Amino acid sequence: MNNQIKTIILSAIVAIIASFAILSEDGTSKNKSVFNRVMESGKLRCGYVITTPALLKDANTGELSGISYDLVNEMGKNLDLEVEWVEETSWATMLEGLANNRYDALCSAIWSTTSRSKRAEFLDPIYYAGVGIWVRSDDNRFDNIKDVQELNNKDIKIATMDGHISEITTKSDYPNATRISLPDFSNISELFNLVTTKKADLVFEQDYVAWDFMKHNPNVVKNIVPNDPIRVFPTTVLIPQNEPALKNMLNTAQNELIKIGRVKQLLKKYKTPKGSFLMPKRDFE
């Protein structure tokens, strides 16, 4: 074997060894599965987006609470894992953090959508949320609308937020409408404020969020499709792609709590109005 061939072989071996030594931001090998990392560390690192009532943050203390917060912590307890809520993220940047190993899962009840499925996988649904079309209470232009596709025109201004379901729905189903956009990390209530101040005509949002807004702003908006949501989204935890062991473990822990009625108890704990969320049918019902 001549020296040139030896050099090529040696270079290849060094490259292979180096590839296994590449570390992620948390100091662990990128080639190690998330499941193995979680099991070895005994910790599940959660990223989260502040979204009522799944994940709440006290403005004064920074203390977290909410349906997802309680549920995932209980999952961790049953799995003998410590849950660390390591990073608050946004609708626009959450998938980037997941891909870059800044956290092991997005734990704050994220909606599963087609666009997100290209970069992440979803656990089974925790519950379902319907999306309404919210306009000003005194705006009667849409009272007798027969086809919501009438809203797909440039004269209709829709309030959206970067990466939020309002933007996803508008881009997908109402591309001809005019978007009045807010940056990510904006408070969701600001979407409704765009409508109430007449900067936008409407916003696509789930019933609970609108109800929560109206607790502090009574009778300022109304849903023009109260009995026919334009979309119904499964709400769940997001994990990295190609992690079957992690998915199986977390799904098992989550579904165990759903089957014993824990999610229904949490919906009551956080005083969600009846009908705000739909529960998945349990396999024994």
On the question of pLDDT at 3 being above 60, the answer is no
pLDDT beyond 80 at 20: no
In this structure, is residue 12 part of a structural domain? Answer: no
Domain membership of residue 215 (yes or no) is: yes
Q: Pick from 28, 234, 215, 206: which is nearest to 133 by CA? A: 206
- Whether 2 is covered by a domain: the verdict is no
Residues 211 and 175 in one domain: yes
Same domain for 110 and 133, yes or no, is no
pLDDT digits (tens, 9 = 90+) for 148-199: 999 999 999 999 999 888 998 999 999 999 999 999 888 889 999 999 999 9
Domain holding 196, by residue range, is: 129-232
CATH code for the domain in which residue 181 is found: 3.40.190.10
Residues in the chain: 285
Q: Do 241 and 116 reside in the same domain of the chain?
A: yes
The three-class DSSP label of residue 10 is helix
For the chain, give the mean pLDDT.
Answer: 88
In a domain, 93, yes or no: yes
Element (H, E) at 9: helix 3-21
Residues 123, 238 within the same domain: yes
Higher pLDDT, 147 or 8: 147
Task: Please state the separation of Cα 23 from the chain's center in Å.
Answer: 27
What percent of the chain clears pLDDT 70, i.e. is strictly above it?
88
More confident call, 116 vs 278: 116
Confidence class for position 106, pLDDT limits 50, 70, 90: very high
163 and 47 within one domain: no
Is the per-residue pLDDT at 4 higher than 70? no
Cα gap 1→158, rounded to integer Å: 70
Same domain, 223 and 83: no
Total tally of structural domains belonging to the chain: 2
Cβ pair 42, 76 in contact under 8 A = no
Q: What is the reported pLDDT for 69?
A: 98
Any domain includes 97: yes
Q: Are residues 100 and 228 in the same domain?
A: no
| Whole-number Å distance between alpha carbons of 68 and 10 | 51
Locate the DSSP E strands across the chain. Answer: 43-48, 56-57, 64-65, 82-88, 105-111, 121-122, 127-136, 157-161, 178-182, 202-206, 221-223, 231-239, 277-278
Burial of 198-236, coded b for 16+ CB within 10 Å and e otherwise, reads eebbbbbbbbbbbebbbeeeeebbbbbeeeebebebbbb
Q: 202 - beta bridge partners?
A: 158
The whole-angstrom separation of Cα 99 and Cα 101 is 6
124 and 136 co-located in one domain: no
Cα first-last separation, the chain: 70
* 237 and 255 in a common domain: yes
Residue 220 belongs to a domain: yes
Is the pLDDT reported for residue 23 higher than 80?
no
29 and 124 share one domain: yes
Q: Do residue 201 and residue 254 come from a single domain? A: no
Residues 30 and 58 in one domain: yes
